[in-house]
Structure 1
Amino acid sequence: MHLCIEKGLEMSIVSVIIPVHNTADYLRKCVESVRDQSLKDIEIILVDNLSTDDSPAMCDAYAKLDSRIKVLHLPVADLSTARNAGIKEATSEYIGFIDSDDHISSTMYEEMVDALVRNQADMTYCNFCYEYPDMHTDSPYPNSGEVHLCSQREVLKEMMQEKMSCSACTKLFKRELFDSFLFPEGVLYEDRAAMHQCILLCQRIAWVDKAFYFYVERQGSICHTVKPMNLYHHFLSEFARIQFIKEQALFEGKELYVELTRIINICFALFKQILSMTKVMYFREPIEDMRQKLKILLYLSKEEIEPRCYKRLRKIVYFWKPYYFFNFYFKKKDWRP
């Protein structure tokens, strides 16, 4: 690991970790949005993870330009590894994350620190907007501007029901949380797979009902890249959520039935999609792993899974080879139970 550091004289309040991988076209807007924060006591850690464009040089140039910026150059291209490396270098009381193709509003960290301190919280989170190529934005939240104190259980349920983002980027954490939690390395969809484990460490959580974070919709990002391995990692993250819901008894009755059925249908669809786009001989182990995980779900009770979903699940678990043969080789568009 090569480390290029320019340190200020005073300890900052927030360390902002920005993993960077081949995002030279977006990096300037991202970094400038952090440099221009109304909260100036910020440490910015740029973690280049094996970029092949102009990103490494841009990071080094920023370190010379602003004494608040540190740069790490990693020999591996992995978001979680980059985040964890940034955590180890961070010196501030609070830690936040930004993806290098996104950007934030100018008061994000000032308002989130204020909410965290006033509510004596372990973590605070905000809303987000989608930003499209034509520069228009869209947010799925009310954005009232109010600050709410939430319980751990409330936040976990909201996250599992997709009512709040599971992304680490819309959150600000107390540094000590990372004494017990690091991001799982070598996997995609790491926030979906693991953020709930971090929230288990939080006793008090504050929500700032404002859209501070801008997700830039672009081609080439992981969430828009349809490859068998990406789909497999997405499947693993959804299966982890099913396990978590069961272990923590987050829902009961109709709520449990609805949430488990919804996530199982996502797993089912991902498995079908992989079968339709790859040859089994080149993807045998992941396919068998998914099949075995789906098989485990057949042991759910009738109070936990919709009957139609159960029938579809059973059919794909035990009769996936005929489906694969006809769908892959004869290009059937869908498979109805």
Structure 2
Amino acid sequence: MIKREIVSVIVPVYNVELYLEKCIQSILNQTYNALEIIIVNDGATDLSEEICMKYAQQDSRIILINQKNAGLSAARNSGIRNASGKYIMYIDSDDWIDNDCIEKCIKEIQKDENLDIVLFPYIKEYKQKKVVVKLFDLDTLYFNQEQTKEFLLKSLFGPTNSINPLKIDNLSTAWGKLYRRSILNEVEFTDTKKISVEDSYYNVQVFYHAKCCKYISNTFYHYRKTNPISLTKNYNLEKAYLRENMYAVKREFVTDKGLGEEFENALNNRVIINLFAIIYGLVCSNISYKTKVKYCKEVLNREIYKKAFKQFSLDELEFKWKCFYWLCRQKKHTIIIFVLNSLILIKRRGVYSEK
């Protein structure tokens, strides 16, 4: 019999009227019902607030917080400050979870007082296909305190072997995990306006304090990816440069905690590997081809990449990635944009499939 400890589920909401009900319903349908559902309406301007109010009136487990728009990080921080549960789970408001997700996580974490985080896989939900993302090859994995530090924590800084740019952030997300509340004390999400990506650094701070972690593969988080290659109206190069602030705070963390050279090398690998995400986002935008080439040149000329490439080895990369990062190292911006632009055009025609 599972002891019915409260799980606080934090759901930040902003303009997701089309998907919000599916998200909330998946939480209400959980086989584990000792829940505190904290919905933070971050100043939504569509019908999201009305939907939240409707469900809050129907189920007393829902706590609705309305605030002025301040961004995802601020919404999650509001949620955690108002949470009273022994355990915490984050769910984004356009996503959903399996009906037995929380129960399966609770079973694991209540069996071991040293277990602080349960991780589970996710499914990328596109309109016409699903892509299952298993975090590890084995069905279950247990990480003691030393293994949590040497593998999971280090992976949040960057890869050290078997480098795959498409998998570099599989562990970084705040969702897809059940956290023991006690290890989250005094840890908050940093505003994306300061570091571009909030989840990775948040988990760095959390996993540093974790005793043990466990991975289970028999339940899923469903991550909505409505369009696999959606166009953005504009490409904000300055936002891409904000990643450099994230690298800076992670580097400071390595120094402050005395984590050592291996962590510094992992972070250096991340600096280079993230170039793909930056340039791919650039190519997927609807700015002109000429501007894409110009921006790519600007990125590759940044001093941070010049320095990082001096320590970066191509040896651990598959051939296609070795080619890409060799072109980046040589600053072949025109070739890079031409090749990626061509691949994306093929993908939009349904020929190129995600691996």
Q: Which residue does 2:349 correspond to in 1?
A: none
Does residue 177 (structure 1) correspond to residue 183 (structure 2)? The answer is yes
TM-score scaled by length of structure 1 = 0.73
Contact 2:124 2:130 (8 Å CA) reproduced: yes
Report the AA paired with residue 126 of structure 1.
Answer: F
CA contact (8 A) 1:261 1:306 kept: no
Shift of 1:118: 2.0
Alignment of 1:1-337 (within 5 A): 13-119=6-112, 120-134=114-128, 136-141=129-134, 145-150=139-144, 151-159=148-156, 160-161=158-159, 162=168, 164-187=170-193, 188-219=196-227, 225=232, 227-229=234-236, 232-237=238-243, 240-241=246-247, 244=250, 248-249=259-260, 251=262, 259-260=269-270, 262-263=272-273, 265-266=275-276, 269=279, 277=287, 294-300=302-308, 302-304=310-312, 312=328, 334=338
CA contact (8 A) 2:309 2:329 kept: no
Q: Tell me the distance in 1 between the aligned counterparts of 2:232 and 2:282.
A: 17
Q: What do residues 173-206 of structure 1 show as CA deviations (whole Å, max 9, x unaligned)?
A: 1212232310012434311344223222212111
Structure 1 residue identity aligned to 2:115: A
The 2-side partners of 1:243 and 1:270 are apart by 24
Shift of 1:154: 1.3
- CA RMSD in angstroms comes to 4.3
Distance 1:274 1:25 in 2: 24
Which one is further off, 241-250 or 125-134? Answer: 241-250
**TM-score, reference length from structure 2:** 0.69
Between the aligned partners of 1:196 and 1:233, the Cα distance in structure 2 is 21
User: What SS class does the counterpart of residue 148 from structure 1 fall into?
Assistant: strand
- Counterpart residue identity of residue 124, structure 2: Y
Q: Deviations over 1:21-61 (max 9, x none)?
A: 11111111100110111111000011111111110011111
Point out where structure 1 has 5 or more consecutive residues left out of the alignment.
1-10, 279-285, 317-322
Tell me the equivalent position of 1:320.
none
Q: Distance in 1 between matches of 2:98 and 2:92?
A: 14
Percent identity reads: 23
Determine if contact 2:87/2:178 at 8 Å carries over to the other structure.
yes
